[in-house]
Amino acid sequence: AYVNSKIGKGIITAKHVAGYFSQYKIPPTVCTLDLEKCEDISIDFISPSSESLNRDRAFYKQSFSFLQTCKISKKQMKIKDNVTIIGNSWGFQPWVSEGNVAWVKEKSLYINGFCAPGCSGGGVFYKDRMVGIISAILNTEYGPQPNQILSVPISQIEIIE
């Protein structure tokens, strides 16, 4: 998601996504939702030092003239709040689905909705405002559970204004 931060405009995503691109020296690409306009991002990103799930985020400080920044909300989400999930399922194209907050833990949102591998780093939206960043789908002994999404609330991301 393209956001305003304390250090300028840029893209916020999951650290494990940014790390993949950086490791293989592949520049990630940012696009409009309709894929009409795309541009490569620098492979250099800023990240918190902790390796916990709640620190699984990266920020690319870069401006894009063809994008508008997301509206942000640091609203404390509650169980049953309806949300929209936007990601890049299987790495092919944008995917939009609906869900609701199933569980709120101190620094995480657990969401019922559909999300497949590749959605990490995508946004969780309440009404027209981004409230979280997708971190992962739950993985159990029975395999990935694409209907159980883990998200970091925007309120936990210090860099975002």
Q: What is the pLDDT of residues 44-103, one digit of tens each?
A: 777 765 444 456 777 888 888 888 888 989 889 999 999 999 888 776 678 889 999 999
Per-residue pLDDT at 87 = 84
pLDDT category of residue 125 using cuts at 50, 70 and 90? very high
Measured CA to CA, the distance from residue 155 to residue 74 in angstroms comes to: 5
CA distance 89 to 121: 11
Distinct helix (H) and strand (E) counts, the chain:
1, 11
| 122-131: average pLDDT | 92
Please give the model's pTM, rounded to 2 decimal places. Answer: 0.81
Identify the residue with better confidence: 118 or 96. Answer: 96
Is residue 105's pLDDT more than 60? yes
Residue 82 corresponds to which amino acid? N
At residue 49, the pLDDT reads 55
User: What are the tens digits of pLDDT across the range 15-42?
Assistant: 777 777 777 777 788 878 777 888 888 7
